[in-house]
Amino acid sequence: MIEIGIIGGAGYTAGELIRLMIHHPKVKIKSVVSRSHTGKLIHLVHQDLLGEIENMKFSIDLKQNIDIVFLCSGHGKSRKELNNIPDNIKVIDLSQDFRIKNQSVFKNRNFIYGLPELQKKIIEKSNNIANPGCFATAILLAILPLAKKKLLKKNIHISAITGSTGSGIKNSDTNHFSWRNNNISTYKIFKHQHLQEIEEIIYKVQKNFSEKIYFIPYRGNFSRGIIATLYTYSIISLEKNIEIYKEYYKNHPFVEISDINIDVKQVVNTNKCILHILKEKNKLIIISIIDNLIKGASGQAIQNMNLLFNLDETCGLKLKSVRF
């Protein structure tokens, strides 16, 4: 069994990680650290776990003899946590602290960008993974096949909307119910923090691409999920583009290409990304949907863990969407 620890155990991401891990056939949860809830029963904070993890409490520190730690403490806190984690323990960081190349090294640890559909073989040989951002996951999976074939020629325009859980569990002016309900807004236009990792990956995959990537994020009035729509110039036929996408993802079990229009409920509670591709004159349009808490965070972290420990990457992640 893989013995795991989780640090920052009270948030949405950690809650989903625990929910999925307790049913993973190869995993045992040894400790869940929360300094704000130390000593409290986990199911009193993550109330959906009532009856699933009855007697386990949040601890103040990790227990000994674990194989891997998941860092869920939030952005800017991971380096401090790593000071207390022995070098021989594998780490998957779910913050943005190590995703960018010039920030990916900490002491003896070199963090690999953990998008399996980009570099599965490299991940398998690594010990430290920087889990991608949720917007970045949805958007990169929509662009990568084009970049790999050197087919990006002009600017990429993206709009994407995320559920309120993307803002984290702590209350703020823009994520409480009375503000989100029947409401929608843009934020961080062209400046969202995930844009930096998107640009770095795309410019690395297609080195001759130097055009701009424009990203407009939206806050949605629903709890979970992301739908991203992007378009860019293409003179290749729709049929050929679809063929390129299907070929790229043929060995990646969590990405599906849909022939018909898609909606967020198809992926909620799953580790899937579903893409729908269409064309209007010389504009190729790609629609991408994921669950921001699973494929965009905890599920992808488990997918990476499976690769690190030479398991089938779908292990513990064969999840059915909540359609209604």
Q: Which residues are catalytic?
A: 134
Would you list the DSSP string of 232-301? Answer: EE--S-HHHHHHHHHHHTTT-TTEEEESS---GGGTTTSS-EEEEEEEETTEEEEEEEE-TTIIIIIHHH
Sort strands 283-290 and 273-280 into parallel, antiparallel or unpaired: antiparallel
Contact 134, 233 (CB under 8 A): no
N residues, the chain: 324
How many other C-beta atoms can be found within 10 angstroms of the C-beta atom of residue 218? 16
The one-letter amino acid code at 42 reads: I
What single-letter amino acid sits at 319? L
Q: How far apart are CA 323 and CA 198, in angstroms?
A: 29
Spatial CA neighbour of 158 closest among 130, 119, 183, 186 = 186
CA angle 99, 105, 106 (to 5 degrees): 115
What is the CB-side half-sphere exposure of residue 73 using CA atoms within 13 A? 16
8 A C-beta contact, residue 290 and residue 226: yes
